[in-house]
């Protein structure tokens, strides 16, 4: 049961042909009666992306890239976990497990792997473990309840031990931040420190009575999220099965659901493709479409939405605040959540998908943070 098995992606051509047929037969709604994204993903933007998906996109390129990096599966608590394991050529590299979020995948980290594993200075090197969350990517789909972030955090500890790492670090954003925080809160054996690019904190009454500019920004972002940007999470944490039917059956519906969040959560000038290429976006969408995990990925909201509440972490913590994070957290709030905050980075550019959008800055932050943890 503890065996680690190499995994090679080889999607049958019939599955890609089925995708193309569904794209060809898509039933489109009328154009939105506004000239912006205020009603969701615009018809013209999605039709353009789907046209490229059908005629220009090459899944086999992405498949070959993932296979070349080294993919594996192992069973933990009855569930098959998919992960990339990319060892550094430098023997003294720090082991690091990095966890993606929704609507992301291991694709988020593709632009960071070479710099993290094979830097010019061996002191900056990491052995990388990049798992797919349960119900995401090519990991198994839980058939019973209980796979919340606390259990996932413990499972990541089992995974690192199986790989032979007795002292390691953890990193994450979005759900990855919640899982990484759960590792630290549970003091999972072997974890020596964490870095998060979605730090959490809450204001005190004194903060609310006399907020600083950073606190006003954070409070405004929270109100915007609650008023205009949280419909997806309400649906996924209350009725994930219902929304899952459309996401698993319709590639156009899935793409529209995900693309809206990429637009809303990246640091862009009006288009999601200011921040990410069409290939990057579609590589990620394919890791939802091919395994048919629109429902299984949404269930993590049902399991663990309350786990995003700030809780005090005693382990060493590094945090990076990117300016277009959906729920910005001022350093003052974060210092109460992370009393052992050894690194804080205020970044100039980037949004919610830090590693994906700003890989060089992200790598620099990890080097700085974990360099202070020994």
- CA gap 321, 313 in Å, rounded: 18
* 249 included as an active-site residue: no
* 352 included as an active-site residue: yes
- CA gap 321, 324 in Å, rounded: 9
Query: What SS3 state is found at 149?
Result: helix
Residue 324 gets which letter from DSSP? Answer: B
- CA gap 253, 38 in Å, rounded: 17
Alpha helices in 139-250 (DSSP H): 149-162, 175-185, 205-209, 213-224, 231-238, 240-249
- CA torsion sign, 307 to 308 to 310 to 315? positive
Residue labelled with tokens 């992405």:
62
Cα distances (Å, whole numbers) of residue 154 to 76, 147, 149, 190, 340: 10, 10, 9, 11, 22
Instruction: Answer whether 262's CB lies under 8 Å from 276's CB.
Output: yes
Instruction: Answer whether 136's CB lies under 8 Å from 105's CB.
Output: yes
Catalytic residue, chosen from 57, 136, 165, 301, is 301
Catalytic residue, chosen from 174, 207, 267, 283, is 174
- CA gap 345, 332 in Å, rounded: 13
CB environment 263-291: b (16+ within 10 A), e (fewer): bbbbbbeeebbebbeeebbbbbbbbbbbb
DSSP codes of every residue in 265-312: HS--SSSGGGTS-HHHHHHHHHHHHTTT-HHHHHHHHHHHGGGGS---
- Residues designated catalytic: 174, 301, 352
């Amino acid at each position: 049961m503890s065996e680690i098995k190499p995994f090679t992606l080889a999607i049958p051509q019939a599955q890609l042909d089925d995708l193309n047929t569904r794209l060809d037969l898509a039933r489109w709604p009328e154009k939105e009666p506004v000239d912006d994204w205020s009603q969701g993903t615009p018809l013209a933007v999605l039709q353009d992306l789907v046209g490229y998906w059908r005629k220009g996109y090459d899944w086999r390129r992405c498949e070959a890239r993932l296979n070349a990096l080294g993919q594996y599966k192992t069973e933990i608590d009855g569930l098959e976990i998919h992960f990339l394991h990319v060892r550094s050529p430098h023997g003294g590299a720090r082991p690091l497990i990095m966890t993606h979020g929704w609507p992301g995948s291991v694709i988020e980290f593709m632009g960071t792997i070479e710099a993290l594993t094979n830097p010019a200075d061996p002191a900056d090197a990491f052995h990388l473990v990049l798992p797919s969350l349960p119900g995401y990517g090519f990991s198994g789909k839980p058939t019973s309840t209980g796979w919340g972030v606390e259990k996932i955090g413990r499972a990541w500890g089992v995974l690192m031990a199986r790989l032979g790492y007795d002292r390691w670090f953890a990193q994450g954003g979005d759900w990855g931040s919640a899982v990484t925080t759960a590792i630290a809160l549970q003091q999972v054996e072997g974890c020596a420190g964490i870095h998060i690019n979605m730090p959490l904190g809450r204001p005190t009454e004194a903060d609310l009575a006399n907020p600083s500019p950073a606190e006003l920004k954070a409070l405004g972002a929270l109100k915007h999220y609650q008023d205009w940007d949280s419909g997806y999470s309400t649906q996924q944490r209350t009725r994930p099965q219902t929304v899952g039917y459309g996401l698993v059956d319709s590639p156009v519906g899935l793409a529209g659901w995900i693309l809206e969040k990429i637009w809303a959560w990246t640091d862009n000038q009006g288009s999601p493709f200011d921040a990410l290429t069409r290939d990057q976006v579609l590589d990620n969408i394919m890791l939802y479409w091919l395994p048919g995990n629109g429902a299984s990925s949404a269930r993590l909201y049902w399991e663990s939405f309350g786990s995003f509440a700030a809780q005090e972490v005693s382990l060493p913590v590094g945090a990076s605040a990117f300016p277009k994070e959906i729920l910005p957290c001022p350093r003052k709030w974060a210092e109460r959540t992370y009393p052992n905050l050894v690194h804080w980075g205020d970044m100039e550019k980037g949004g919610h998908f830090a590693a994906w959008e700003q890989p060089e800055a992200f790598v620099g932050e990890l080097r700085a943070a974990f360099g202070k943890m020994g």
